[in-house]
Amino acid sequence: MATKANPADVESIDAIIAATYDVISGPAGKPRNWERERSLFYPGARLMPTATVAGRNDVELAPQILDVEGYIARVEPLFEKSGFYEKEIARRVESFGSIAHVWSTYQSRRDPSDPEPFMRGINSIQLFNDGKRWWVLSIYWQHESTQQPLPKQYL
């Protein structure tokens, strides 16, 4: 069963996107609120970073398909060692009925005061509204690289 969400986190598309970024952001060593993270995702939801294939270069990418627990296990050691603050810098939404697709461009910093982000990319986020709240069904993302700069229409 899913963790009960704070109604303010799931009342709108704006709210659930803001909560999704907020819950993973924080200084090095500060435990994230994983119960809050779990509460945003529909049971069985997936988080899919597009990462380099082991032993290959940045051009050869493949998705890693994780459930929420797999995502937490992947990022917890990274958040222990260094700060991570991710924020949305642009958004495109298409929706119909109970479903929405959000193209969310992000930038990541180790500290909010860093002058430049160390990474940018695009999250493809699928949302579902069950009539009571919004749920994240999946987040599929790719970071920007020299081979794949962010397109102007997503900035």
Quick one: pLDDT band at residue 80, thresholds 50, 70, 90? very high
Write out the two tokens for 58.
């940045």
Percent of the chain with pLDDT over 70: 93
Helices (H), 56-95: 68-81
pLDDT tens-digit map of 85-110: 999 999 999 999 999 999 999 999 99
What's the CATH fold of domain 7-154? Nuclear Transport Factor 2; Chain: A, (3.10.450)
Encode pLDDT of 137-153 as tens digits: 999 999 998 888 999 99
pLDDT in tens, 9-54: 999 999 999 999 999 999 999 999 999 999 999 999 999 999 766 5
This prediction has a pTM of: 0.93
Asked if residue 55 has pLDDT above 80, the reply is no
Q: Is the dihedral of CA 49, 51, 53, 55 positive or negative?
A: negative
3-state DSSP helix/strand/coil % of the chain, to nearest 5: 25, 40, 35
Q: How far apart are the C-alpha atoms of 88 and 23, rounded to whole Å?
A: 13
Round to whole Å and give the CA distance between 83 and 29.
8
Is the per-residue pLDDT at 67 higher than 90?
Answer: yes
Q: Which residue, 1, 12, 27, is CA-closest to 100?
A: 12
Strands 134-143 and 41-52: parallel
The chain-wide mean pLDDT, for the chain, equals 93
Domain ranges of the chain: 7-154
